[in-house]
Each structure stands twice: as C-alpha cells, then as structure tokens.
Amino acid sequence: MNTLTLLSLLITVSVSLSNVDHCHGGGDGGGHPSDGGFTVDLIHRDSPLSPLYNPTYGRSERIQNAFLRSVSRASRILKRAYVSAIDANISAITGEYIMRIGIGNPPVEVVGIADTGSDITWAQCQPCKNCYKQGALPFLKPNASSTYHVESCQSKACEALGNDRLACSAENVCKYGLRYGDGSYTNGDLGNDTFWIGSTPLKNVVFGCGHDTNGTFTEEASGIIGLGGGPLSIINQLKDTIQGKFSYCLVSALTKRSNATGKIHFGDHAVVSGPDVVSTPLKRNIPATYYYVVLEHVSVGKIKLPYKVNTTFMKKMGLDTENIIIDSGTTLTIVAQEFHDDLTAALSRVIGDETVPDPQGMFDFCYKDLDLSRVPTITFGFTGADVEFPRENVFIEVQKGVSCLTIVPSVGVGIIGNLLQQNLLVGFDLVNNKVSFRPTDCRNHN
C-alpha cells in the first residue's frame, strides 16, 4: 500500500486567553475582552524556526522521512477505525504538530505532539521508573504543583477512559494505559491540573500523568496533546470556553519561504465566514475521536467521478454514509482503492499517460517535468460543499524533475490529509456539527 508523506508543524503560542476562571468557563483572547477565543502559530517542523529542524536533510530526505512517519499514522487511524486488514506496525509518534504549553502551578513547560487523531493528553511525570529520554525538557513533578489532583476511580473522567482504563489503585487513583502497535506504551495516573497557554491559566484540565512510558517516542517531545473529538480531548474539555469551535490554516509545506507560519484558532477566533465559505455536516461515530464527513464525488476538470468504497468492508467497520476523515496530522490523502483507479484514469486522460516510476518507490502515479498548468482542477464534492484544491496540493515534487500524486489508495475509510488542505481555512464546529472551508493565503492569514 502506498501511503503517506508528512509535513509536521511546531505550534507556538502567540495569543492567549485571559481571565479564565476554570476550564469550562469563559475567557478572552487576542485583546478582545470576553470573546472566548485565542490563536496559536503553526511552524513547519523542517523550518529553521523548529527545534526539530535538521539542516543536513535535503528535500528528498525530508519527504522520505515524512512518508515513513505518515504510513505509521495512517495505519494507526485505520486500525482504530476497525480496519484489521492493515498489518503495518503503528508508530507511537501519533501526530505531526508540536504544541508548547505549561502544566502545573508553578507551570512546567511541556512540548507535546498535538494530535487530532488522539483524545487523551499525557506527559511524562516523576517519579518515572521506565521513561524515554526527552532531551533538555523537564519532567512534570505533580507533587510540586499546588493545583494537581488525581482523578478518583468513580469520576466521570475515569469512566470516559473506556478501554484505556487500568485497574484502580489501592488509593482509589484512576489509572490509564495506552498501547501502540510498535510496542510503545504509556501508563500512569489520570489527574487534572492547571494548563497554561502563554500566561493564562485553564484550570482542572484532565490529563494522563505518565509514570511508566517507553518506546519509539521522539526525544524532542514530552507527551501527546489530544485534539480529537472524544470526551477527554482538549477540544471537548474546553467546549464551553471555545464554544466547540476550532480552525486552522496551513501554509504550503515545502514553500521557499521557510519561515512562513500558519495559524490554529479556538473559540470566536475560529469562526469561518465570508461569501466563499462552504460547509458540510460533521458526522460522529465510534470512536468519537475522528472527524468524519461524506464524500459524494470528485471532479477532475469536467469529469465527475462518483466516490466508490467497499460497502461490505465499511459496514464491517460500523460506518454508514460517513466515508472519509479530515485529519491535520496525516499528509497525503487516502481514498478507497476502488475509486483511486478511476481517479488516476481520469487524470491520465487529461494530463497524458506518460507516467514514470517514483525513484524512491513510494508513490505510484508520477510524471517527469510536470507543468502544473496541465493538471486539471480537482474538486471534492462533500455533502453540500464543493471544495476545490490548488494544483500544487495535488502533485508534489518528490525529487528534482519528478512530481507525484498526493492522493493514494488504501482500504476502508479515507483520510483527507494536510497537504491537500494547505491554503484553506478549515473550521470545525462541534456544537452545530459542521466543517467549513474557505480558500485562504495562509501565509498572510491572522
């Protein structure tokens, strides 16, 4: 199966909430009193601004590394969505954005991998009997925080863990345990503490305090920040404060302006409006983590292709009409194999059939010296929303002179990756259950 490249971003806080009384209360941000919103910068992981930046990597190496990370992420998502047919190992590196926050009072900096495909936020805590190295980053010391409390086994938060809940301790402390397909794991106490965005406190945020954590986690991060749709995600814990709204705008991944940044917005700042906005219903399913929508057709120029899936397979997964996930942490877009054949046939009719193999053997539909003006307009027809994607999002130059299609085949539910979403403002409204899109130059978006 050919999947996925990855563009990863470092999240740094630029504007924060103020006067927040607790994590379910109101607040203000960005200098707008009581508007309940705040905004965060998004920096590409390969930017010189990122602590993950490796100046020795060339373009091809960055793409290859991103591809391998993305394969693991897509496999994890598809397995959690009950796709047992995929056998690839799943890396514990579950997201491709990094977010700087503070936890505790006084706050300790946590650099967590922000993941729209995870719900539980966790960080490594002392004492930690078996923890991975995290570079110069400090471990959390829950006993040193005046606002830290453990969750009891009878708490609603503990009940919300579901299958991630471990046996209760003799002291009635709720225990969590997460396992990843590559053998990585994190175990610890479920607690709550003050989270800090900039200098602003958000009280009583539930998270996992890991005392036994190891595996293939990256040393540049000290945990995971869950931004999915489940009950323990940061999005749902702050639901009253941010009115269930967040949006993001991603800059071109390999832009020559390497210091360009995108944005992620929460609350009132996340509203997507204007005459060119289109919206589609957001579908909820089990697990509640993922943001499902319905893809009805894809237009390749004037050629309209109905979207095909393996209905037997989808029903086995418990899915009805919802057939694709919008995910900011997966780079390439995954579609059903049954449809991918039709898509590449239509592209060949318009561009030409003189395709070439990918020298790295990762992609299966490539052209040499592709003139992007030959690429037809690609429009995804979601329920009630036709979204046109820029040509440069559809093909990426993986090696000098070789450009490959960023839409790849797989089985089961599809994934709209972040490469296709670049230079779109994408907004999620979990109260009204809709996703909105607006064409935007994300380099100049505030």
Supply the pLDDT for residue 114.
Answer: 72
User: At 348, is the secondary structure helix, strand, or coil?
Assistant: helix
Alpha carbon distance 187, 308 (integer Å) = 40
Q: Which amino acid is at 395?
A: F
Supply the pLDDT for residue 48.
Answer: 66
Alpha carbon distance 339, 322 (integer Å) = 15
Q: Name the β-bridge partners of 280.
A: 435
Residues of the chain within CATH 2.40.70.10 domain(s) are 9-248, 272-444
Longest dimension (CA), the chain: 68
Residues with a known catalytic role: 115, 327
Fold for the domain defined by 272-444? Cathepsin D, subunit A; domain 1 (2.40.70)
**Contacts by residues 127-132 (CB-CB < 8 Å, ≥ 24 positions apart):** 127/211, 128/210, 128/211, 128/212, 128/213, 129/211, 129/212, 130/212, 130/213, 130/214, 131/210, 131/211, 131/212, 131/213, 131/214, 132/213, 132/214, 132/215, 132/217, 132/219
| 410 token code pair | 């797989």
Q: Name the β-bridge partners of 295.
A: 382
pTM over the 0.75 mark: yes
- C-alpha R_g of the chain: 21
Supply the pLDDT for residue 49.
Answer: 62
Supply the pLDDT for residue 8.
Answer: 32
What's 319's DSSP letter?
-
Supply the pLDDT for residue 76.
Answer: 63
With b for 16 or more beta-carbon neighbours within 10 A and e for fewer, the 404-443 pattern comes to bbbbbbbbbbbbbbbbbbbbbbbbbbbeeebbbbbebebe
Percent pLDDT > 70 in the chain is 77
Which of 343, 278, 335, 341 minimizes the C-alpha distance to 305? Answer: 343
| 64 token code pair | 């290859």
Alpha carbon distance 14, 30 (integer Å) = 9
Q: Name the β-bridge partners of 367.
A: 403
Q: Which amino acid is at 267?
A: G
How far CA 55 is from CA of 261, 265, 343, 438, in Å, comes to: 19, 30, 37, 34
Alpha carbon distance 216, 8 (integer Å) = 17
Mean pLDDT per 10-residue interval, the chain, length 446 residues: 34 30 32 54 62 68 66 63 35 59 92 82 92 88 96 97 94 93 86 85 93 84 87 91 89 61 84 94 88 96 94 80 87 89 96 90 91 95 96 90 91 85 93 95 85
| 126 token code pair | 């002392």
Strands (E), 283-350: 292-293, 295-300, 303-306, 324-326, 333-336
CATH code linked to domain 9-248 = 2.40.70.10
